[in-house]
Chains A and B, each alone.
Chain A
Amino acid sequence: MKILVTAKRVTDPDAKIRVKPDGTGIETAGLEYKLNPFCENAVEAAVSIAEKVGGTEVVAVTIGNDEAVNNLRTALAMGAERGIHVKCDEWQIDSDIVARILAKVFEREKPDLFILGKQAVDGDSNQVGQLVAEYLGLPQACFASRIEVGQGKVTVTREVDGGLETLELALPALITADLRLNTPRLPTLPNVLKAKRKPVQALTPAELGVDMAVKVATVAYEAPPQRKGGVKVKTVQELVEKLKNEAKVL
């Protein structure tokens, strides 16, 4: 089988993000970039299926500027066999453009499974997988915590409000990965070196025939109101006294 996975480049999830004083974006100086944590789960899921199901090819796709290739290489080092890099200015696109690009890549590659991270930890929109599924008329299982591939179908357990739901999807199908799906492997040094030689195909949105007009434009950025830290109390008694008489919440 063939599995397509996403490898989105995001700012380091643990970095402190600061807004530019003029509100036109975030301060990018000194920021490190990583593979989106949810995409790591997606790549791990694809690679571990490939280890179990013989003859499986894993293809990773990223969208972004030239540096996005570095994060695509992380996916290749984890075990994806080849990469696709759709070049564009990642600050000028919305979830819908990403979805329409990915839908075109899907149509070219014709995979049996498309596994994406459930959201990117920068934009936090949580839309792309679902949009792609609708554009392609695919069945979807979002927020997956377990995937089992069967004959012409895949069984997916997903994390929903109120419990765990299990879906059976006919292939081809689309899955978005949640954090509990697996523990992504750390690429070994030999695999990092090997990844440098793996083929990466460069494409442009124009070559894919994707209209680059955004449906939703981000026009300003601001820092959230800062919550001021309060006081430290010394004892449980003092805490209860304050909760009762000052905060009046008891």
Chain B
Amino acid sequence: MSILVVAEVSSGKLRKTTLNAVTFARNLAAKRGDTVAIAVLGSSVGDAAKEAAAYAPVHVVDSPALANYVAGTFAKAVADLANAVGATAVAGTSSTFTRDLLPRVAARLGAGMVSEVMAITPDGKFKRPMWAGNVIATVEVRTPKAVFTVRGTEFGPADPLGTPGSVTQANVSVTDDGKAKVVGFAPTVSTRPDLTEAKVVVSGGRGLKDKEGFRILEPLADLFGAAIGATRAVVDAGIVPNDLQVGQTGKVVAPNLYFAIALSGAIQHIAGMKGSKVIVAINKDGEAPIFSVADYGLVADAFKAVPELVEEIRRARS
């Protein structure tokens, strides 16, 4: 029996976040005596398949009908592949891609699905967050097959195998029912690392007021090669793109260092960043809830403190 990890492919390349689900799958496989394989789907994805094979044997479904991601088409291909290779579990690292796709795969397989897995318990159950991470539930899957999205913050990226795995073209026919088509994509243009992959994250809140105000975070982020994040209020106000939202319904991050600047710390935001190793909060309201989770809190006006912080860090490093 095997556990199939669904790879995420972007512009023909394997997304690194795939490797976190490989770790989850290896842990689960070790418990059950299963094997791990990776599913790479798309059009002309040979390079991504080769990259993925460094971590596990790969099954490729390569078809022009998979050039654009459409949930229904991909779900059928993944489920057919899972059946063809005898997979009892399908997993992916939580992202908008896997959240969109994997429930449909579960429906096709008649499988129970667990979202946002944080841990596997010794007796083979799973831990997952509910209520914005204020409750951790233990859940049991009661179907022979199971589908998972897993939190990248809880499972580190997998190491490559000593010898790369095989790459097999899967015998799965792909059909597009034509009911959905992609008619546009407006990419977020950024030179910064992906939020979920960054070692340092600098996040701002409504206290920064507007686009102009938000720019004070740039020099601080530059010092660390950091990703920039934001609260829901900032995203709602159109100050930054939606995929920079950190929180319950946005990205969940756990960097080595997290700067929370001029944000109060609503429970929905804290749910997305409380796993960070070191949290620094700067807010002019000394009562802001963010201080209750921060390792270092500074009660100050961000517009003054942040430029000063940039200067002091430069000095401390020289």
Binding site for B on A (CB under 8 A): 11, 13-14, 16-17, 19, 26, 38, 94-96, 99, 118-119, 121-131, 133-135, 137-143, 145, 155, 157, 159-170, 173, 178-180, 213-224, 227, 229-237, 239-244, 247, 249-250
Contact = CB atoms under 8 A, between A and B. Distances in A.
A216 B107 contact: no
Interface stretch (B40-48, B162-170, B309-317): B309-317
19 contacts: A14-B266, A95-B113, A118-B249, A124-B131, A140-B180, A155-B183, A160-B243, A178-B242, A179-B232, A217-B142, A219-B138, A219-B139, A220-B138, A240-B312, A241-B316, A243-B278, A243-B296, A247-B278, A249-B278
B297 A231 contact: yes
A247 B295 contact: yes
A237 B139 contact: no
A237 B312 contact: yes
Contacts of B184: 157, 165-166
A227 B293 contact: yes
A161 B140 contact: no
Interface in B271-318: 274, 277-280, 286, 291-300, 305, 308-309, 312-313, 315-317
Nearest to B194: A161
In the complex, the 6 A-B pairs of residues with the closest C-beta atoms, listed nearest first: A215-B112, A130-B103, A139-B180, A230-B295, A166-B184, A134-B107
B108 interface: yes
B139 A218 contact: yes
Interface string B133-160: 1111111111100000000000000000
Nearest to A125: B115
B140 A219 contact: yes
Nearest to A237: B312
Interface stretch (B30-38, B59-67, B82-90, B185-193): B185-193
Interface of B: 10, 70-72, 75, 95-97, 99-104, 106-108, 111-116, 125, 129-143, 177-188, 200, 232, 235-236, 241-243, 248-249, 256-257, 266-268, 274, 277-280, 286, 291-300, 305, 308-309, 312-313, 315-317
A121 B188 CA distance: 27
A35 to B, nearest CB: 16
Contacts of B312: 236-237, 239-240
The SS class assigned to the B binding surface is mixed
Contact of B280 (A121, A135, A243): A243
Given A135-B107, A139-B70, A140-B72, 13 more contacts: A11-B131, A16-B267, A130-B102, A130-B103, A140-B71, A162-B10, A164-B242, A167-B182, A221-B137, A229-B294, A233-B298, A240-B313, A247-B278
Contacts of A216: 112-114, 139-142
Contacts of B308: 236
Nearest to B243: A161
A17 B294 contact: no
B72 A215 contact: no
Contact of A142 (B10, B100, B236, B241): B100
Contact of B309 (A140, A162, A239): A239
A90 B248 CA distance: 22
A122 B115 CA distance: 13
A165 B179 contact: no
